[in-house]
Structure 1
Amino acid sequence: MLDNLFELFRSRFPADRSRPFIQVPDGQTLSYGDVEALSARFANLLVSVGVAPGDRVAVQVDKSPEAVALYLACMRCGGVLLPLNTAYQSDELEYFLSDAAPAAVVCQPHRLAELEGLVAKAGIRATVLTLGATGDGSLCQRAKGLPSDIATTGRGGDDIAAILYSSGTTGRPKGAMMSHRNLASNALTLHKLWGFRPDDVLLHCLPIFHTHGLFVAINCVLLNGTSMIFCPKFDAEQAIRLLSKVTVFMGVPTFYTRFIASPSLTPAACQTMRLFISGSAPLLEETFNEFKARTGFTILERYGMTEGGMFTSNPLDGERRAGTVGFPLPDVELRITDEDGRVLPQGEIGIIEVKGPNIFTGYWNMPEKTKAEFTADGFFKSGDVGVVDERGYVSIVGRAKDLIISGGYNVYPKEVEDAIDRMAGVVESAVVGMPHPDFGEAGLAVVVTPADTALTPDGIIADLRGRLANYKVPKQVVLVRDLPRNAMGKVQKTVLRDSYAQMWKDSL
């Protein structure tokens, strides 16, 4: 049986392939026929440079219609897509390349020499291609003239379609392997659950190296056979102007706080809208309520993570409750357990565990880590702390894995702490998440230095910006002589959050 994800999408393409698929504001429009042909040429090129079924294709490029075609091309030739945040720096990229050993790497044109150097340093054999935001680069040039069709490579449902890296609490990034079945099942469920209609148009302002923008948003549009307005980045004023041309919007909480801050957000601006969806980070109840008061629309909040797409959703029809992420998806089992794995009764707080066809197959090259993250009966331990109320609504109340979610992106303190601790003159550090009105959370680094240090908070931040993606860099740094610890010697991060809460508020 041909379980290649691309064939599922193609079965939903409109019969009239001239219908638009991607529309860039004040830019190009690609029809379904255009994207079908372009993805075939890209797939033919990938095969010609040695990409075989199961080979990884690392992609670190700007958001563009061509980047979406490249995603489809990887599916068509049986490659495994490895999307990488464009903010990643050389040290981060070197690990990904060494670990995943891709057969091809596609990067921004201005980073060609850098990536070629990293490929050589990693000791892998990979063809490096380039793709720019406007479609320029060797990928498009070399694909010109290649056949605009290709036989879809047969893939089983359990074959890997993509690997998405997220940093681990130990500081070592983990590659979550998503199969064709994982992605297909979640997309089909969400498409049905959120009631996509033949006339729906999505406003896409999310990045496409992340589950939310790549698999949730784009896959729903592909299954619907309709179009999306594709913004290179989120600009609140531009997005509000475009709401009159669309019916569905997906965003992170930061997008909604910026909407609310604009006087342009009115009921009239939303008159064609059907649905606003929020995810990737907790939505504050104040944001939920104020958005409804300003627009008349109730945001639909949902919950998921890299390791399985979406797990829960507030209902399309029915009460969408502030502070909750709704009910488990129809094909997802969700339970709350204590630290010893015992299932807790309804209303008690514990670790969220999930099971379903959308849950990833494991971590790339980490069999022991994979085994540790699953229970004996097949539930994935999310690491998030939550509760299910008497009506079945799920609420997220914390995170057991010390995760910071800033602007919808995951930041693991251990990774940032390791980068700080490598600096000359640093004794040790602790990074904690603090509430932020725009990003939801942001990092505060408390750094232990000697009395005669030449280090400064600004200097530490500047150093980190050269080595970490910007969203991982703490917004503030405090220099101290020691860190608070408990009797077992563990740093008490709760004490740090409390100690610097007022200083943090005063600085915002």
Structure 2
Amino acid sequence: MSSQTVRKSPTGQLLKTTQRMAAALHTAGVARGDRVAAQVEKSPQAIATYLATLQVGGMYLPLNTAYTDTELQYFIDDAEPTVMIVDPARQAQTEALAPEVVLLTLGRDGQGSLLKSGARRTAVEPMWGSDEAAILYTSGTTGRSKGAVLTHKNLTSNCLALLGAWEFTGDDRLIHALPVFHIHGLFVAVNMTLVAGATMLWMDAFEPERVIDHFATATVLMGVPTFFTRLLTSPNLTHEVASTMRVFVSGSAPLLAADHAAFTQRTGHHILERYGMTETGMNTTNPYRGQRRAGSVGFPLAGVEVIVAEPESDAELPAGEIGSIEVRGPNVFDRYWRNPEKTQQEIRDSGFFITGDQGYFDDGYLHISGRAKDMIISGGYNVYPKEIEQLLDEHPTVKESAVIGVAHADLGEAVVAVVVLNDGRQLDPPALETSTGDELARFKQPRAYRAVDELPRNVMGKVQKAQLRDQFSDLFGA
């Protein structure tokens, strides 16, 4: 299946599928507050696993299908799910990782034990807004992922704010080419479509020419910057083919101003950029009606407060001054799963969440100027250097390493490993690739390796990654 349309139907097929899954989860012992982890291929049935989990009062934990067994083991140990849903092809290896977890299977074609029984559960567990709905893991600079606990209020408030901001209605037809294991593809795109009663033009993966073909019957495309850089390579991207589209939304990573301008020139549409993250959903957006400024992520959503503050004092800074971006509102997550210390560090007593991003306001528009942490966003995916550095530093040829993001025309940023070699050793990229390949998902693996005599450091001994980024800024000619 390359693409298909998912819409409201007279038979309520999605509801029936959800109720069958809810029955299976209930039989498997899922109760209020239990975790249900899903590592399945993208499909309409995968959406039903999310809805069924909510129906029985569980906490939904979507996992990237690219995660290796090593990565998956950490999530299993930390979240302790009652049930795991995996592709049938992964059943045996997942059983070995989690013998104590009830394992159910779901293939992209809908086959598997999750839908084996025809029983349906119509009862819906009553939940309050403060009750937990999901856990999404977001890595930290320590290399250990943190589980952000999102409540029903978090998801509901953010969905309603976005429906209003983007004037999204039941008449819309969304091209859905995003993954469904993170905030953008699931809790933005899917939630909005379901609540509005709109239609999804469902794609298993992003294919530029097929996306362009869908323009004729679609109204909205939600994507990451990589989508737009790839669309711009097609000679079929024209004013005419985009004329029926209502809005193009980009997020999850910075969009180059040059790509913003080129897209406008090619299609007549100004891309609508927004700003969000795992812990908060969406925070700000450029206006649907009004000026959309390239390089800006717009204004706070209704009900959301965003300030730029002095990091130490939390004092709000005037417009034009760069500081810590902090967010408060019903969209801000409840806590980090089983990590009260980290929760206390990042949510102030005032209720403002410290995003880790830096930026400034200009004429009311928020601009992201950089990240306080050294996170890399490659193709819309978050990559945290420490996790990769720890693996590289274990290699016998490597004395120490620093992983950075370097501008890349397609991915936005590409992962680059800068290493200091042990005496007498030569740089051997294939060997380093082999050493990390079984431990890291493909999107985390370095696209290039470079050797230096020593890493630049400040007087406190901290590696100066900004210098490395400058040194290798032209590595990919971006």
State TM-score, norm by structure 2. 0.97
Q: 1:367 aligns to what?
A: 340
- 8 Å contact kept, 1:166–1:173: yes
Shift of 1:423: 2.4
Q: 1:53 aligns to what?
A: 32
- 8 Å contact kept, 1:451–1:481: no
SS in 2 for 1:244: coil
Shift of 1:26: 5.5
Provide the C-alpha distance between the structure 1 equivalents of 2:6 and 2:185, rounded to a whole number of angstroms: 20
Q: 1:388 aligns to what?
A: 361
Provide the C-alpha distance between the structure 1 equivalents of 2:207 and 2:405, rounded to a whole number of angstroms: 25
Provide the C-alpha distance between the structure 2 equivalents of 1:80 and 1:411, rounded to a whole number of angstroms: 25
- 8 Å contact kept, 1:339–1:351: yes
SS in 2 for 1:240: helix
- 8 Å contact kept, 2:7–2:198: no
Specify the code of the residue in structure 1 equivalent to 2:304. V
Q: 1:74 aligns to what?
A: 53
SS in 1 for 2:215: helix
Q: 2:18 aligns to what?
A: 39
- Please state if 1:196 is matched with 2:168: yes
Provide the C-alpha distance between the structure 1 equivalents of 2:284 and 2:70, rounded to a whole number of angstroms: 35
- 8 Å contact kept, 1:30–1:65: no
Structure 1: 5+ residue stretches without partners? 1-22
- Please state if 1:228 is matched with 2:200: yes
Provide the C-alpha distance between the structure 1 equivalents of 2:239 and 2:169, rounded to a whole number of angstroms: 22
Provide the C-alpha distance between the structure 1 equivalents of 2:23 and 2:202, rounded to a whole number of angstroms: 25
Provide the C-alpha distance between the structure 2 equivalents of 1:373 and 1:96, rounded to a whole number of angstroms: 21
1:105-162 Cα shifts (integer Å, max 9, x gaps) = 0111111111111113xxxx31111111111222122xx3212x42110111111100
- 8 Å contact kept, 2:7–2:200: no
- Please state if 1:25 is matched with 2:3: yes
Structure 2: 5+ residue stretches without partners? none
- Please state if 1:129 is matched with 2:104: yes
Provide the C-alpha distance between the structure 1 equivalents of 2:456 and 2:87, rounded to a whole number of angstroms: 44
SS in 1 for 2:95: helix
Q: What pairs up with 1:212-251 in 2 under 5 angstroms? A: 212-251=184-223
- 8 Å contact kept, 1:457–1:479: no
Q: What pairs up with 1:22-421 in 2 under 5 angstroms? A: 25=3, 31=9, 33-120=12-99, 125-141=100-116, 144-147=117-120, 149-340=121-312, 341-389=314-362, 391-421=363-393
Provide the C-alpha distance between the structure 2 equivalents of 1:453 and 1:467, rounded to a whole number of angstroms: 23
SS in 1 for 2:98: helix
> RMSD value over aligned CA atoms?
1.6
Equivalent residues, number: 476
SS in 1 for 2:459: coil
Specify the code of the residue in structure 2 equivalent to 1:47. H
In the alignment, which of 445, 450, 460 is matched to residue 417 of structure 2? Answer: 445
Provide the C-alpha distance between the structure 1 equivalents of 2:69 and 2:473, rounded to a whole number of angstroms: 34
Q: Mean Cα displacement is larger for which, 420-429 or 46-55?
A: 420-429
State TM-score, norm by structure 1. 0.91
Provide the C-alpha distance between the structure 1 equivalents of 2:426 and 2:29, rounded to a whole number of angstroms: 51
- 8 Å contact kept, 2:224–2:252: yes
Provide the C-alpha distance between the structure 2 equivalents of 1:302 and 1:45, rounded to a whole number of angstroms: 38
SS in 2 for 1:484: coil
Provide the C-alpha distance between the structure 2 equivalents of 1:99 and 1:444, rounded to a whole number of angstroms: 29
Provide the C-alpha distance between the structure 2 equivalents of 1:91 and 1:369, rounded to a whole number of angstroms: 23
Shift of 1:454: 6.1
Provide the C-alpha distance between the structure 1 equivalents of 2:297 and 2:453, rounded to a whole number of angstroms: 41
- 8 Å contact kept, 1:461–1:477: no
